[in-house]
Homo-oligomer: A and B are copies of this chain.
Amino acid sequence: MADPASEMPPEDTGPSADVDLTLIAALAGAVDDGDAASVARILAPLHPADIADLLEQLSGEQLRTLVELAPEVLTGDVLAELDADTREVVTDELHPSQLAAAIQDLDTDDAIEVVEELDDDVRQQVLSEVSNEDRAALESGLAFDEETAGRLMQREFVAAPEFWTVGHTIDHMRAHGDDLPELFFEVYVVDTAFRPIGEVPVSHLMRAHRDVQLADIMLAPKVKVTPETDQEEVAYFFEKYHLISAPVVDEGGRLTGMLTVDDMVDVIQEENKEDLLALAGVNDAGLADTVMQSVRSRAPWLLVNLATAILASGVIALFEGAISQLVALAVLMPIVASMGGNAGTQSLAVAVRAIASRDLTSANARRVIWREVMTGTFNGLIFAVVMGIVAGVWFQNLALAGVIAIAMIINLACAGLAGIVVPLGLKRFGADPAVASSVFVTTVTDVVGFFAFLGLAALVLL
């Protein structure tokens, strides 16, 4: 268990939202000079989260040098705070026995976070060097799938039978203080089969009289979480019911672990990051990624985009004759496609967000689809007028102005439809609506945009 004193930041530095630039420069300088004493002196007074932030600012090479110079800086708390990419660089440099020593002070959930990304053979070596008890806890946590409650829960929690009084419970906690988790927020009330039947917030326990029974002040559990529950679902429960901690029960309904809100905040941030990156066509991204890692995470979506762009070009190629007769078509056609793409992306962002927050369901999907199509159509009308005037003035061609106006309405209406139907469709087929939606939607808006504009032009103008 972590020493509470180690979590105190020094009075003089004071916490700040932004990383301290002079500190980064000082640390980088000390590392470049191979000055182990300065490295230790700079990091000693800092909170583990601040040390992690500083280390994340170093280059991969500086980081490796630092680990060699001052491996004792990489405590379990610091390892747990590092982002996955930086941690990978660090754990590659540390010896398995150093890793084993670092993680033994951590709660199970934090220790699992550190060891789960290790290579199999390194993880085996680390596990062989921790205590039997820790190894059993880690192995049973690792047995659950990634991104489930089982990986995030800690084995340390406080439970008491319903017939205990407040006084008895407090006395018991005083007597067994060392076995309790570092922090807890609720006492779980269990029946004789160790199934949770209620929970008492610690603040309620504190103000109740000593002779009150737990059964009389307990609240019914708000959610039922098993180790297999998806972390996104658990985070949603925490957000919705304003939970601080939640019990996890096994198949038999017996209490087996505890989830806490700080881990759920991390999950929420992780899921939001994934959605935002997925919408932009990036598989995964860390700031410490190398060029090659970045290329690997982005090239696949660029390839998909190339395929759809070639498809759209195929539509243009159908109308080569029209374009060679009237080059203005080539000048104007990207405008129709661009406006459609933008309108589609707007609908898509609204839809992805509403699906993620569980507000968009099959109950209101029809109404929202209708709203999106009407919004697209109405915006289409607005920009049909604007663009019709621009095109008419620019090319002195009324028929051309009419064609681009009608194409604009058609494409923006289709954009609104595609922007909502595509993510809903992906969700229905069990896929993540944020991933791939973007490509499908812009394919629709490119193809429809070029086809509507060039097709109408070929019909009307030539």
Interface residues of A (CB under 8 A from B): 4, 7-9, 11, 14-15, 17-19, 21, 24-25, 47, 49, 53, 56-57, 59, 83, 170, 173-174, 176-177, 180-181, 183-185, 201-209, 219-220, 222-224, 233, 236-244, 261-262, 264-266, 268-269, 272-273, 275-277, 279-282, 285, 287, 289-292, 294-295, 298-299, 301-303, 305-306, 309-310, 312-313, 316-317, 320, 323-324, 327-335, 337-339, 342-343, 345-346, 348-350, 352-354, 357-364, 367-368, 371-372, 374-375, 378-379, 382-383, 386-387, 390, 442, 446, 450
Contact = CB atoms under 8 A, between A and B. Distances in A.
A107 to B, nearest CB: 11
A87 to B, nearest CB: 14
Given A47-B222, A279-B279, A295-B382, 7 more contacts: A8-B220, A269-B357, A287-B364, A291-B378, A298-B375, A302-B382, A305-B342
Contacts of A176: 207
Given A170-B206, A313-B334, A359-B83, A262 B276 contact: no
Nearest to A363: B24
9 contacts: A4-B204, A59-B367, A239-B265, A261-B265, A273-B353, A279-B349, A291-B371, A301-B346, A316-B331
Nearest to A245: B244
Contact of A387 (B18, B287, B306, B379): B306
Q: How many copies are assembled?
A: 2
6 closest cross-chain pairs (CB), A and B: A280-B349, A177-B207, A330-B330, A242-B262, A8-B220, A294-B375
Nearest to A330: B330
Contacts of A378: 291-292, 295
A295 to B, nearest CB: 5
A324 to B, nearest CB: 5
A329 to B, nearest CB: 8
Contacts of A205: 206
A17 B233 contact: yes
A14 B53 CA distance: 41
Contacts of A269: 239, 268, 272, 357
Given A201-B183, A324-B324, A208 B332 contact: no
Contacts of A358: 17-19, 53
B185 A49 contact: no
A322 B83 CA distance: 51
| Residue from A49, A203, A358 with most neighbouring chain B CB atoms (10 Å) | A203
A345 B280 contact: yes
Contacts of A282: 346, 349-350
A261 B245 CA distance: 11
A444 to B, nearest CB: 14
B174 A334 contact: no
Contact of A276 (B206, B240, B352, B362): B352
B331 A281 contact: no
A203 B222 contact: no
A222 B47 CA distance: 9
Given A203-B202, A261-B244, A364-B287, A295 B180 contact: no
Nearest to A349: B280
Contacts of A181: 203
Contacts of A333: 330, 334
A173 to B, nearest CB: 5
| Residue from A219, A269, A350, A390 with most neighbouring chain B CB atoms (10 Å) | A350
Nearest to A336: B309
A323 B359 CA distance: 48
Contacts of A281: 342, 345-346
B285 A309 contact: no
